[in-house]
C-alpha cells in the first residue's frame, strides 16, 4: 500500500502514455489502409456497357413504317400559339392504330392482326382480320347515347337527356337503351320489378313463452304436466306479465291478449353431455313440445330453456329506384308496379338463414314473371334462376 501511495502519480502518467501510444498506432493503421484502398480504386479499369445501344432511326422505330393503316392520319404540322422551340408535333403525338381483342376486350396493336402468326399478345389466341373501316359514332351531346339512337327513340341528340326517364317507368333512358334493351317510350317495356327490390332486414319475433319442465306421468302423454312461463294478459287492469302456467296435451292457451295457441305434441328426452369443469359426463334435459297458433297449421317447436320464435317472418324491402320501404311476410302474395307500368305479382317463398339472412326467394305469379324464381339480396343485384 505504501508503494501505491508514494508512486500513484507515476502510475497515472504511465497509463496515459500507454493510451497515447496505442491511439497513435491505431491512427497510423487507418491511414495506411485508406492509402491502400485508394490505390486499388485507381487501378479499377473501365468496363464497357452491358447493354446495346438502339438506333432510333432504324425502321423498327419509325412509326409510319409500323402503322398498317387504312385510315388517313394527321400529318406533322405546326402547333399554334407556341414558341418555335416547341412548335412541331412529335412522334408520340401521332395516334397509334389499335384494335380491341375479341377475347378479353383489351387494346392490342393493330399490326398483330396482320402478322403471319396473328396471335393476340394478351390471350395467345388466333386473331382474324379486323374491319377495314372504322365505324364512326356521333354523340353530339356527349351523354353516352349516339345521335342515331336518340333520333330513333325521339330523344334530342343536342341535349344530354340520357339520365331522364322518358316513359316514367323509373328507369333512365340510357339504362333502358343500353343496359336493359327496353323501349324508353313504353312504360310497359321494362324489367320485371323484382329487379328493383333490395332486402333491408329480416325480423323474427320472439314468443313470450318458455318451457321450464315436463313431468311425464305414465305412458299416456295426455297425463303429462307441462310447466311453462308465459305472458299473461290481465283484462281487469289491462296489463301483461310473465307468469308460470301448467299445460297438457291438446290444451289451448293464450300468449298475451289475443294470440291463442294449442299444444300438439310433447317429447321427453335426455342426453349425456361432457362437462369440462367437472371432467365428467352429466345428464342434460333436452325435452320439447310442439305448439301452433289456433287456425294456423304452422308448427312451432319449443325446446326447454330456449328462445322461441314466431314462424311468421317479417321482411323489410326497399325499392332501389324510388327509395320506398315496405314489409312482406313469408308466404304472402304481393304486387309491384303502377297502372302506367303494369304490375308484377310475386310470392314470398323462402328465406335463407336466420335474422342475418342475405337472400330471399320470390316466385313469379303474374304473366310476365310466371314460372321464374328470383333471388333478392341485400345488394342491388338480382339473379334469375
pLDDT of residue 209: 92
Give CA separation, 61 vs 75, 116, 237, 339, in Å.
17, 20, 97, 66
Using the predicted structure, report yes or no on whether residue 150 has a pLDDT greater than 60. Answer: yes
**303 CB neighbour count, 10 Å cutoff:** 16
The owner of cell 313469379 is: 364
pLDDT tens, 202-225? 877 888 999 999 998 888 998 999
Q: Are 214 and 266 in contact (CB under 8 A)?
A: yes
In this structure, of 220-229, 234-243, 262-271, the range with the lowest mean pLDDT score is: 234-243
- Tell how far CA 358 is from the center of its chain: 12
Give CA separation, 173 vs 166, 186, 336, 361, 368, in Å.
7, 11, 21, 29, 22
pLDDT of residue 70: 45
pLDDT of residue 93: 52
Please state, in angstroms and rounded to a whole number, the distance separating the CA atoms of residues 238 and 257: 9
pLDDT tens, 73-100? 445 555 555 444 444 444 455 566 777 7
Element holding 246 (H helix, E strand): strand 239-247
Using the predicted structure, report yes or no on whether residue 239 has a pLDDT greater than 90. Answer: no
Please state, in angstroms and rounded to a whole number, the distance separating the CA atoms of residues 113 and 318: 49
3-state secondary structure of 31: helix
pLDDT tens, 154-175? 888 888 888 888 888 888 888 8
**219 CB neighbour count, 10 Å cutoff:** 7
How confident is the model over 222-242, as a mean pLDDT? 88
pLDDT tens, 325-351? 888 887 888 888 888 888 889 988 887
Q: Name 267's bridge partners.
A: 288
Please state, in angstroms and rounded to a whole number, the distance separating the CA atoms of residues 193 and 182: 14
Bigger pLDDT: 359 vs 62: 359
pLDDT of residue 96: 66
Amino acid at each position: 500500500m505504501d508503494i501505491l501511495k508514494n508512486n500513484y502519480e507515476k502510475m497515472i502518467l504511465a497509463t496515459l502514455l500507454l493510451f497515447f501510444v496505442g491511439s497513435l498506432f491505431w491512427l497510423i493503421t487507418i491511414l495506411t489502409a485508406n492509402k491502400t484502398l485508394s490505390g486499388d480504386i485507381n487501378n479499377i479499369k473501365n468496363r464497357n456497357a452491358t447493354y446495346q445501344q438502339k438506333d432510333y432511326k432504324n425502321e423498327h422505330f419509325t412509326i409510319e413504317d409500323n402503322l398498317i393503316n387504312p385510315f388517313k392520319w394527321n400529318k406533322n404540322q405546326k402547333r399554334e400559339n407556341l414558341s418555335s422551340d416547341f412548335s412541331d408535333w412529335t412522334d408520340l403525338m401521332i395516334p397509334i392504330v389499335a384494335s380491341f381483342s375479341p377475347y378479353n376486350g383489351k387494346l392490342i396493336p393493330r399490326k398483330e392482326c396482320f402478322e403471319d402468326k396473328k396471335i393476340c399478345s394478351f390471350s395467345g389466341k388466333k386473331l382474324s382480320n379486323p374491319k377495314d373501316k372504322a365505324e364512326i359514332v356521333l354523340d353530339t351531346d356527349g351523354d353516352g347515347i349516339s345521335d342515331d339512337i336518340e333520333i330513333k327513340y325521339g330523344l334530342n341528340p343536342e341535349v344530354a337527356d340520357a339520365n331522364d326517364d322518358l316513359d316514367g317507368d323509373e328507369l333512365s333512358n340510357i339504362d333502358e337503351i343500353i343496359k336493359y334493351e327496353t323501349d324508353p317510350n313504353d312504360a310497359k317495356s321494362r324489367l320485371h320489378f323484382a329487379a328493383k327490390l333490395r332486402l333491408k332486414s329480416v325480423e323474427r319475433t320472439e314468443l313470450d313463452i318458455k318451457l321450464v319442465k315436463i313431468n311425464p306421468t305414465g305412458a299416456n302423454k295426455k297425463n303429462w304436466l307441462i310447466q311453462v312461463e308465459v305472458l299473461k294478459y290481465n283484462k281487469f287492469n289491462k296489463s301483461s306479465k310473465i307468469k308460470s302456467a301448467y299445460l297438457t296435451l291438446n290444451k289451448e292457451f293464450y300468449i298475451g291478449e289475443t294470440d291463442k295457441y294449442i299444444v300438439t305434441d310433447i317429447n321427453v328426452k335426455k342426453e349425456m353431455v361432457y362437462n369440462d369443469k367437472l371432467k365428467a359426463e352429466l345428464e342434460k334435459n333436452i325435452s320439447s313440445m310442439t305448439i301452433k297458433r289456433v287456425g294456423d297449421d304452422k308448427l312451432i317447436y319449443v325446446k326447454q330453456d330456449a328462445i322461441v320464435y314466431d314462424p311468421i317472418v317479417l321482411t323489410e324491402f326497399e325499392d332501389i329506384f324510388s327509395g320506398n320501404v315496405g314489409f312482406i311476410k313469408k308466404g304472402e302474395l304481393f304486387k309491384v308496379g303502377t297502372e302506367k307500368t303494369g304490375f308484377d305479382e310475386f310470392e314470398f317463398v323462402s328465406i335463407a338463414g336466420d335474422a342475418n339472412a342475405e337472400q330471399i326467394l320470390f316466385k313469379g305469379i303474374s304473366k310476365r314473371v310466371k314460372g321464374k324464381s328470383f333471388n333478392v339480396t341485400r345488394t342491388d343485384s338480382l339473379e334469375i334462376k
